[in-house]
Each structure stands twice: as C-alpha cells, then as structure tokens.
C-alpha cells in the first residue's frame, strides 16, 4: 500500500476539520434516530414500518460506502466527504416535511446514500490525522460524533415541547433546524476540510489483496454495529413504550446513550495509550452487557436511563478502536469493508429487532444486542496485543 499527499496539511487544522465532520454527521443521524417515535405517530405506522425505514437508510448506506471507500483512496477523502454530507442534509430536510411513508422512504434513502460514504471518508481523514500524531485521537473524533447525536436529541426534545407536549406532530421543525445547521456546516467544511492522501493498493505494479484481518474486524463491526445501532435507533422507542411516557420525553433514552458515549470517548484515547485497544474493547463490551441487562429487566424510567447510559459507555469505546485498526492497516478500501459489516448490522438489525418486538415485546428484543455484546469479548482477540499496540504508536 503506497500513499501520496499532494497537499500536506497542518495537523491542528486537519483535526479541527475532522471534528466538524464528525459532529455534523452525528447531529444529522441523531436527528433521524431521535425523531422515530414522533414519526411513528405522524405516519401512523408500527414497529414493522420503522424497520422498513431503517432498512432503507442502512441498505442505501451500504451501497454508497463501497463506492466512497474506493473513491477516498483514489481522489482523496475531501470531495467524498463534502458531497455526501450535502446528500445527508438533504435527506434530513426531506424527512422534516414528509407526511407519508413513501416520501419518508425517499428521505431515508437520500440520508443513507450520504451517510454511508461520508462515514468512510471522515474516518479515513481521522486515521490520517492520528498517523501524524504521537498519541491516539480516534476516540475523540467519535466523541464529537456523539456530541452531534446528543445535540440532535436535545434539539428534538426542546423544540417538540415548545410546539406541542406530545411532539407527535411537530418533529418537522426540529429536523428542519438540524438540516439548516448541517447546510451551514457544509459551507464551513468547504473552506477547511483538507484533501488528504491518495492511496494506491499496489506492490511492484500488482494490486495487493485485502488483508485477512479485514474479515475478523468486520465480524466485530457487525457485533458492535447491531448493539450500537439498537441503542441509537431504538432507545427512544424503548423508553417511550416500557416507561409508558410521551414520545418527546422518550427521546431522553437517546440523550442518555449519546451523553455517556461522549464522556467515554473523550477519555478513550488515554485508555488506549495506557492499556491498548484490545483491553479497551473488552471493557466496553462487558459494560454494554450490563446496560442491556437493565433494558431487558427494568421498567421505571430512572432504571431504564441508567441502562441506556451503561450501553452508551460500553459501545462508545468499541467503534473507534476497530475503525482505527482497519484504517491503519488497509486505508479507505479496508475501512469500507469493515464499516460495511457494521452497516450490515444496521441493515439486518432493525428488521430483526422489529420482528422481535412484534412477537416477544421490546424488552425481550434487547436480548439480541446483549448477546452480540458478549460475542465482542471473544472476538476482540483479533486486535493487537496491548504491548504491540503501544509499540506501534
């Protein structure tokens, strides 16, 4: 794997640009997840309808990330990130004004096409910044994604309550606000996001094979993808239904998940520097198991929020480490594969969770992400040993 960098970038400026990409992406995707309970009421659909919308979001993302990963290596991640951020913002804007399921599907497809390739592009830029630094930084990038997620959830709660106590008919203003903020962010990103490096996967003129580690990391991505995706997409619905509260208050479930993901990701880089990525992932998986136990067994709102907070703490540690290893080893091409496995979980997960909710109830449905969190503990053996991880940095 050879790399070229036609426009060397200031590490500080590049890091600031990547932080902005992550926070904007998290804000727009968080707006989609936090609005699901209200959209369910507005569109008059059940769990199966929500599963369909999330399926459209994830399937379109899987398509775009395969193209985006290769383009990021070939032409640099900047144009990929900017174009797809625009698509994502337009998808959220469309969702803010729709009142029918077909148009909601169109909005989800637009958002998915933008989010998939943008995810690969911004992580590629993040890995490049980390490679130029003496210490890890990927967890902090993902912390800003969670900041955006938390901002979106808070925006939905505040604006919904300002317009209507139920929030069922007034999710549009909140999503519209997030879309406008996203468009403003695009204008800023055009000025500061660097081109990044172009990566050629060749050796002596022959195209190199994708490292086998990609498939093991992909399995990990599937496990944490479903566990994290369930938290982001279903926490609001779960809290609303189990605690029997109004949808705008139910969005506090996503607030809890996102808030504690921010906390742990701000601290994650220090933990990686001390004990290595493998130990960090294992601790995170065990914490997520404890959180999902609360979601399966508890009913009062305070206990449910404790459970989702633990889930946020746990899953927040995992994704940055897996993506960092993939990017360091194989660039955007390998990142696209690993991220695809994570999105495959978003693709299959909503349908599985929706069916489990229909047949067994939403609390019993949480047993699935609990089980996959347990699988992460075993699969984390593919990550570098703690000593090797520290030496590589």
- Please state, in angstroms and rounded to a whole number, the distance separating the CA atoms of residues 210 and 208: 7
Rg (CA), the chain: 19
Tell me the mean pLDDT per 10 residues along the chain, length 393: 51 84 92 80 80 84 84 82 93 89 92 91 86 83 86 78 56 86 90 69 56 84 87 83 79 83 86 85 92 90 91 88 81 79 75 81 90 89 62 45
Phi–psi pair at 203, nearest 5 degrees: -145, 115
Residue 205 lies in a domain: no
Question: Residue 391: its pLDDT value, please?
Answer: 45
Residue 393 lies in a domain: no
Would you state the torsion angle of the CA atoms of residues 53, 59, 65, 68, taken in this order, to the nearest 10 degrees? Answer: -80
Residue 216 lies in a domain: yes
Residue 39 lies in a domain: yes
Residue 60 lies in a domain: yes
Query: Quick one: tokens of 140?
Result: 């902090």
Question: Residue 58: its pLDDT value, please?
Answer: 80
Would you call 12 exposed, middle or buried from its count of C-beta atoms within 10 A (0-12, 13-18, 19+)? exposed
Number of folded domains that form the chain: 1
Query: Quick one: tokens of 13?
Result: 């400026």
Residue 3 lies in a domain: no
Question: Residue 386: its pLDDT value, please?
Answer: 52
- Please state, in angstroms and rounded to a whole number, the distance separating the CA atoms of residues 120 and 195: 14
Question: Residue 87: its pLDDT value, please?
Answer: 94
Question: Residue 215: its pLDDT value, please?
Answer: 86
Residue 153 lies in a domain: yes
Residues contacting residue 141 through CB under 8 Å, at least 6 positions apart = 18, 19, 22, 122, 123, 126, 129, 320
Domain that holds residue 160: 8-196+212-386
For 285-343, give the DSSP string. HHHHHHHHHHHHH--SHHHHHHHHHHHHHHHHTHHHHHHHHHHHHHHHHHHHHHHHHHH
Would you call 44 exposed, middle or buried from its count of C-beta atoms within 10 A (0-12, 13-18, 19+)? exposed
- Assign residue 86 the CATH number of its domain: 1.20.1250.20
Residue 74 lies in a domain: yes
Question: Residue 393: its pLDDT value, please?
Answer: 45
Whole-prediction pTM value? 0.77
């Amino acid at each position: 794997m050879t790399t070229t960098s036609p426009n060397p970038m200031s590490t500080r400026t590049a890091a600031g640009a990547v932080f902005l990409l992550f926070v904007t992406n998290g804000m727009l995707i968080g707006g989609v997840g936090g609005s699901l309970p209200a959209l369910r009421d507005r569109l008059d659909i059940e769990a199966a309808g929500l599963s369909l919308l999330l399926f459209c979001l994830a399937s379109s993302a899987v398509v775009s990330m395969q193209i985006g990963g290769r383009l990021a290596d070939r032409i640099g991640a900047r144009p990929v990130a900017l174009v797809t951020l625009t698509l994502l913002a337009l998808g959220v804007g469309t969702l803010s004004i729709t009142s029918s399921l077909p148009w909601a599907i169109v909005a989800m497809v637009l958002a998915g096409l933008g989010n998939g390739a943008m995810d690969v592009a911004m992580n590629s830029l993040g890995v490049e910044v980390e490679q130029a630094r003496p210490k890890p930084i990927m967890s902090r990038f993902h912390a800003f994604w969670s900041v955006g997620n938390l901002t979106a959830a808070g925006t939905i709660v505040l604006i919904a309550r300002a317009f209507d106590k139920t929030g069922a008919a007034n999710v549009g203003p909140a999503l519209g606000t997030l879309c406008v903020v996203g468009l403003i962010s695009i204008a800023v990103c055009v000025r500061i996001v660097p081109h990044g490096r172009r990566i050629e996967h060749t050796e002596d003129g022959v195209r190199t094979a994708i490292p086998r580690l990609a498939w093991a990391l992909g399995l990990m991505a599937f496990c944490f993808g479903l566990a994290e995706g369930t938290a982001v997409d279903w926490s609001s619905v779960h809290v609303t239904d189990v605690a029997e509260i109004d949808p705008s208050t139910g969005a506090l479930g996503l607030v809890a998940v996102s808030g504690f993901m921010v906390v742990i990701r701000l601290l994650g880089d220090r933990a990686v520097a001390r004990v290595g990525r493998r130990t960090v992932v294992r601790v995170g998986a065990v914490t997520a198991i404890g959180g999902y136990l609360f979601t399966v067994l508890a009913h009062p709102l305070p206990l449910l929020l404790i459970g989702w907070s633990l889930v946020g703490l746990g899953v927040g540690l995992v994704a940055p480490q897996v993506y960092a290893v993939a990017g360091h080893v194989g660039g955007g091409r390998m990142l696209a594969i690993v991220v695809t496995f994570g999105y495959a979980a978003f693709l299959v997960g909503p349908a599985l969770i929706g069916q489990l909710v229909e047949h067994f109830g939403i609390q019993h449905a949480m047993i699935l992400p609990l089980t996959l969190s347990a699988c992460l503990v075993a699969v984390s053996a593919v990550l570098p040993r703690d000593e090797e991880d520290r030496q590589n940095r």
